[in-house]
């Protein structure tokens, strides 16, 4: 015997989400909705920054912030826009220091230093800077892809870096984080090894950020590129918390030359602080001994 189908259930009554609170009308125009701050899961791609920069794509992200390709909506020029990390940019004093360093770097007009074109704040209150967009690769990538570089070729790059540092030091600006990652190699004219220096003064801002939070930079510097710079290239003066001058950049450049000629840095410990201690207490293996087949001139080792 067939069972007759059950009649359909009547639709449920409308749900009462909440009891009336006594507020008869709600003026939506008077409500301020908090805007999400960009973080690891959020991006500015597709937005217009400061009413003039259309953010096209994200190209890099690190402890300091995020770098985007952007286009100026009026003149159509493509630029690189670096937005300070929310972890740093939420502190007004740190954002102001970041812009102050950007302003100082923008005053160094030199062909081997990246041009900083503009700086300001996003709608979320994060500091940003706009700079020329470079097409090429940093020297860390070149080393990884090609292996150690012959001295005649590296010499031409080092001379460009020295000219750029000299121009900065004459303006009283110290880089503080010289390393292959901050030396960008582009093609200009017939020169495929034209160098542009990036990120002047950023290590200073990040050191001040740790001080702002009431922390000792050395104690908190547990990851490369977060507070004091990168330990493999760090001058002893920075490790001792001394007053840095132009010599810290020269020391780091020497470490860079060592790495690019031999294929490895002179010191690398198991931790950040072990590497820093090696700079303070040990002598490096001579580069000609580290890479005997590299044909490094004796004068360079001296």
Query: 179-216, pLDDT tens digit by residue?
Result: 999 999 999 999 999 999 998 766 554 444 444 444 43
Query: Is there a catalytic annotation at residue 93?
Result: no
pLDDT in tens, 50-105: 999 999 999 988 767 899 999 999 999 999 999 987 766 556 667 777 777 778 78
Identify whether the C-beta of residue 281 lies closer than 8 Å to the C-beta of residue 271: no
Tally of residues, the chain: 302
Is 161:195 a contact under the CB 8 Å cutoff?
A: yes
From 177, 181, 199, 249, the catalytic residue? 177
Q: Taking Cα atoms as reference points, which of 167, 109, 110, 105 lies closest to residue 130?
A: 105
Distance CA 273, CA 266 (A): 15
- Under 8 Å between Cβ of 166 and 249: no
Helix (H) or strand (E) holding 35: none
Question: Taking Cα atoms as reference points, which of 112, 127, 212, 215 lies closest to residue 163?
Answer: 112
More confident residue, 302 or 59: 59
> Which residue is it, tokens 């003039």?
52
Q: Does residue 128 register a pLDDT over 80?
A: yes
Task: Flag whether pLDDT at 220 surpasses 60.
Answer: no
pLDDT in tens, 263-276: 999 999 999 889 98
Q: How far apart are CA 87 and CA 11, in angstroms?
A: 50
Going along the chain from its start, the domains and CATH numbers come out as: 48-132 (3.30.200.20), 136-301 (1.10.510.10)
How far apart, in whole angstroms, are the C-alpha atoms of residue 230 and residue 275? 10
Q: Are 143 and 263 in contact (CB under 8 A)?
A: yes
Question: CA 50, 52, 57: angle at the middle one, nearest 5?
Answer: 90
Return mean pLDDT, the chain: 79
Give the model's confidence band at 227: pLDDT under 50 very low, under 70 low, under 90 confident, else very high: very low
Question: pTM of the predicted model, to two decimals?
Answer: 0.75
What pLDDT was estimated at residue 244? 79
Q: Name which of 21-35, 75-89, 162-176, 241-255 the model is least confident about.
A: 21-35
Question: Which residue has 């899961």 as its token pair?
Answer: 41
Q: 15-24, 45-54, 65-74, 109-118: which range is least confident on average? A: 15-24
Count other C-beta atoms under 10 Å from residue 295's C-beta: 11
Question: Coil, strand or helix: which one is 163?
Answer: helix
pLDDT reported for residue 98:
75
Q: Report the DSSP beta bridge partners of residue 118.
A: 130
Q: Residue 3: which pLDDT band, with cuts at 50, 70 and 90?
A: very low
Q: What angle do CA 262, 280, 231 make, to 5 degrees?
A: 60
Given a contact cutoff of 8 angstroms between Cβ atoms, the answer to whether 157 and 230 are in contact is no
């Amino acid at each position: 015997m067939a069972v007759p189908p059950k009649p359909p259930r009547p639709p449920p009554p409308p749900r009462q989400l909440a009891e009336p609170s006594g507020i008869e009308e709600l003026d939506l125009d008077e409500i301020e909705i908090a805007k999400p701050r960009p973080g690891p899961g959020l991006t500015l791609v597709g937005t217009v920054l400061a009413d003039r920069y259309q953010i096209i794509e994200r190209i890099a992200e690190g402890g300091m912030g995020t770098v985007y390709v952007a286009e100026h909506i009026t003149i159509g020029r493509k630029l690189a826009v670096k937005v300070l990390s929310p972890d740093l940019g939420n502190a007004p004093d740190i954002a102001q220091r970041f812009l102050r360093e950007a302003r100082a770097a923008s005053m160094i007009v030199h062909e081997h230093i990246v041009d900083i074109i503009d700086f300001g704040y996003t709608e979320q209150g994060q500091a940003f800077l706009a700079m020329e967009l470079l097409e090429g690769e940093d020297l860390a990538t070149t080393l990884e892809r090609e292996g150690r570089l012959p001295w005649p070729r590296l010499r031409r790059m080092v001379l460009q870096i020295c000219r750029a540092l000299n121009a900065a030091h004459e303006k009283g600006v110290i880089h503080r984080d010289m390393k292959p990652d901050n030396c960008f190699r582009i093609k200009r004219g017939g020169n495929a090894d034209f160098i542009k220096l990036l990120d002047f003064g950023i290590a200073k801002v990040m050191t001040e950020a740790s001080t702002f939070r009431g922390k000792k930079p050395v104690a908190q510097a547990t990851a490369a590129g977060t507070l004091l710079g990168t330990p493999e290239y760090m001058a002893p003066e920075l490790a001792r918390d001394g007053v840095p001058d132009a010599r810290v950049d020269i020391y780091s450049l020497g470490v860079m030359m060592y790495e690019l000629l031999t294929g490895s840095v002179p010191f690398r410990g198991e931790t950040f602080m072990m590497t820093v201690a090696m700079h303070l207490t040990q002598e490096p293996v001579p580069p000609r001994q580290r890479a005997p087949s590299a044909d490094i001139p004796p004068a360079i080792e001296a």
